[in-house]
Structure 1
């Protein structure tokens, strides 16, 4: 029984990408069968416990089975629901009990919430080739990432009210009416720049009061939070329980610049902590996921150890903004490099001018079309 229950969870715990409608022409066939999306199109992560047929009060509306028919009595032998992988491998099936649709009723519909209580489930099966998928469901309580199709078919008898003749038929949802499904389970948030992991033992100095904060992720919406580090030994819990000095609006981009208005200004000599919070639509509501917190220290450029060192760090940060995580490999290869010769548009410039160019790029006053770093050897 538990095995079948897991399969029922699996069939229904899915994300609907789109549902296509098709013409309800019942003049040539007695019955037309279709699947309708019931509001799960925005879900990106699905918890199997939210789709227990027997726990009706907690079940979400996922889809609806709709039958349109000609006048005449229809005795449904069963409805078969299949979950199919993108490679056409059937992973799981559910077979309902039989039921009757009265002669004068031309439309009949049932949602996934009502299948168990209204018509009941006769059988459910997991394909032996999908045993590894079942293990993942048990381990994570979520539907695994992947592309799927939900389709249905129905075997029934139809009795013509005029001739009283009874015939047996099979109805299948049209290809355009099958529901295409994508499960993404967003979990990724990787900070790129600026900073280092909180309390890592390393320091990271920046020289701009409006730094660009950049990250990678696979969620839909993000919010950036910036905190002032109150003491050297502030923990993650201390940070999260404190009041941020700035919270961005929800954004869908992977970078944001600290504003010069509607936010407390960053102070020279102070250390700040920032993190990114992603918001994920799931079958249990909206979940929030935090990145690791990073820290950086704002240094007054006039008090920096040397303009060349400052320009080198700004250049490394610029590489991270342009190349993301790929910049780390290049920066390691450039260990010990100098900035004795810097050329912009064919002309040699000073480290001070390089710093000014980078600031103008960040403020969107300049564009970079090409960047070449040559060894002095």
Structure 2
């Protein structure tokens, strides 16, 4: 059996301070581990004006047959207030059977589990004439401009195909084996501005205060958009920012701004949703400026070979059948779904992005076994 273990690799990855975007240190460490297993690795530095450079990795074992890909990210969110942590967030300490550190849940430890599972599969010659690959970005927790989306374009240009993809995000709410994600609601941002006329608060007739009109516009957006369906939660809109260009308490501001986010089900396309919301805003008769940014469309992967393999592997190892869900935020699966069927399954997400982020050693062992079993089930019949 290979000496590589998910625990040691997870600790090594956590100890790299790869706060988004990962400039390459954690990706490079992973590359070394995969090359030792026989993977062919490509370090892909992606760049775009106005965004930070990001180092990504595509690694493949085998050159033929079906290509089963694991997708993940080595970048992590900031630690927040350091004094609130009970251990070094980049120390990868183990206490009472629990591994602590930023990325333990989301999602360096999951990556490590798949690498050990791949090592076992290679050693046991499980793959036959097929291939395993990993698509690892350093830009998932950030704007996702120079990450997975650009790597997928690179793969297409190289004639590289993915047949199935497993994204290792922490999909389980409380215990391992509860839930896999077969889709996600879409995410769209609206940026709303009302222009006013700056003036003294004591002479409002000489000014135009844009704030009351901005509030009226935001109120017009209230109300149900859709009730969801069998696979998706209802579409919801949340105001996330309100601001006015004002540094004084005796000036009527000259401009007011608000930002809102909509998480939408498959009942809407982005264009249809924009039309509906613009109609509501227009009904107020208030002049405004509006721009949109769609960060991801809704999608659904129909249950099939990959969901079946995940379910059977969880039943065997945990005696549980995961719920098929589309809850939660977005992930890089929103890009991968255009290339191949994609399902998300990883560790428990209860501590992700929190102080004292962690995962249990038992879950590390179990997820590694599950990932190995998934690989076996996908290739054993060939």
Q: Do these two structures clear the TM 0.5 threshold for a shared fold by scoring above it?
A: no
Q: Which has the higher contact order (CA 8 A, sep 6+)?
A: 2
Q: Higher strand proportion, which one?
A: 1
TM-score, with length taken from structure 2 = 0.22
TM-score, with length taken from structure 1 = 0.22
- Structure with higher Rg: it is 1
